Amino acid sequence: MKRNILLVEPGYKTKFPPLGLMKISAYHKQLGDNVKFVKGINEDISYECYWDRIYISTVFTYNWNITVKTINFYKSIVQGDITRIYVGGILASLMPNELSIETGITPIKGILSKPGALNDDNILIVDKMIPDYELFDDTPYEYALIADSYFGYSTRGCPNKCEFCGVKTLEPEFIEYKGIKTYIKKIKRKYGEKSHLVLFDNNILASEKLERIIDDIIDLGFGKDSKIGHINQSGQVSYRLRHVDFNQGIDARKLKEKEIKLLSKIALNPMRIAFDHINLSKIYKKRIQLAAKYDIRNLSNYILYNHQDKPEDLWNRLDINIKLNREHDLKIYSFPMKYIPLDAKDRSYVSSPQWNWQLLRGVQRILNVVKGIVMPGEDFFYRAFGASAEEFREILHMPELIVMNRKRTPQHKEIEWKNKFKSMTKNEQSELLEILCTSNTKQKLLKIIPKIKNNKINKILDLYLPEEISDEKQMEIFN
């Protein structure tokens, strides 16, 4: 008997499609069930049919509120029969007890790597299923690269046990070789050839089978400078470069000449590499220089901040990339990533005493302007982030409206604020920062300004009173 299966991804923003739900869809379609996908809360879905099962995916723990709200909504659809609801994914695996208390549903932890993981009497393994690339065809939802990329894993897990990483819980067993050739060929036969290969391996360089994995990738048609033909609207064949993307990043500590040489044999673009702490500067520079030696020129760099660092460390790491770009003719795109603990239910975490609300808010406002990406260009970087680590810290003190409205040439409001700020002593600047962190709305500032006796602080606070700039205005910044 066919069952009606509903797959739900909560309404948060995601770049990539929910691979787990794509595999669950393939699993149920192989069993002959009807499958439907929805994003977020769908008020009309309860009237469509009787849902035998509802699967709800989860991602980051800081999406806690929207995830719980989504689960509780679909609980109302099953009218108390919560055995029909299955919840899994990252948040569900990292905080299963808290989620169970909040929703009454016991989530599935980890990956579905064994038969019977979904309480069915068969030998099918969900994690080994070929993802259902047609799952989103009848929906308005679009995901990056879904139409033109193979998604998968060449390894699973990671032998490292980094305290800020959840992989040790999500994928506790390190599998150093999965053999992707058969998997990719099945996707190709069923859904057609894709241009690119996206692998979600957590630590590809930890595998002793790296050379074998690279050979597999080359055999699949993703060697360096490989191209794929497409028929354009005029009926002619045009060719474009293929890309291989180890999306979770590469461990710089393991990236030595042997590994770089192997990676240079495939169409790696970009090479994603983490630069999590300023103490890694020496080894990081050496690895980037090796990449340049083997003609790997497009890189994507994750930079963790608000962890065991300070604002100046963030600027210095970004500046290192700017200099490496110039010295070795590279294009390193930096992605600063705010550290949030694995059990955080929102994004509000502050790693004090080096960071505080105002400094983190300042970083986020700059990143909003640049869409989260620090581009390789020098002029733009030094204007947006400051010409030095000291100027960067100063910028983070600025009123939000001034930060968001800065042009390439300083305007009178920015000049006025700088003159007032630089006239203050270090103690006065510290007092200003404390006020901004505790009175972080216009209403609070209006109440506290009359109570400030220091004339310098009182006058500079007037510049913090305008309303925040709207998100729509952000596109105009730095033009």
Give the pTM: 0.90
Tracing tokens 């994690």 back to the chain, one arrives at 127
Q: What separation in angstroms does the CA of 137 have from each of 140, 146, 231, 393, 428?
A: 8, 11, 22, 47, 59
- Cα(300)–Cα(400) distance, rounded to whole angstroms? 28
Mean per-residue pLDDT, 365-394: 92
Average pLDDT of the chain is 92
Q: Bridge-partner residues for 277, per DSSP?
A: none
Q: Is the pLDDT of residue 114 over 80?
A: yes
Mean per-residue pLDDT, 42-57: 94
Residues contacting residue 156 through CB under 8 Å, at least 6 positions apart: 111, 171, 173, 174, 175, 178, 201, 202
Strand (E) or helix (H) holding 21: helix 19-30
Residue 66's pLDDT is what?
98
pLDDT digits (tens, 9 = 90+) for 172-210: 999 999 999 999 999 999 999 999 999 999 999 999 999
Q: Is the pLDDT of residue 131 over 60?
A: yes
Residue 467's pLDDT is what?
56
The DSSP line for 384-446 is HH-SSHHHHHHHHHS-HHHHHH--SS--HHHHHHHHHHHTS-HHHHHHHHHHHHHS-SHHHHH
Q: Residue 420: phi, psi to the nearest 5?
A: -70, -40
Residue 471's pLDDT is what?
40
**Reduced to 3 states, what is the DSSP secondary structure of residue 133?**
coil
- Cα(55)–Cα(6) distance, rounded to whole angstroms? 6
pLDDT digits (tens, 9 = 90+) for 247-278: 999 988 899 999 999 999 999 999 999 899 99
User: With pLDDT > 70 as the criterion, what percentage of the chain qualifies?
Assistant: 96
Domains of the chain: 4-128 (3.40.50.280), 149-397 (3.20.20), 421-476 (no CATH)
Mean per-residue pLDDT, 85-107: 97
For the chain, the maximum distance between any two Cα atoms, rounded to a whole number of angstroms, is 78
Q: Is the pLDDT of residue 408 over 80?
A: no
Nearest Cα residue to 143 out of 188, 198, 184, 180 = 198
- Cα(389)–Cα(316) distance, rounded to whole angstroms? 7
Nearest Cα residue to 196 out of 230, 151, 232 = 151
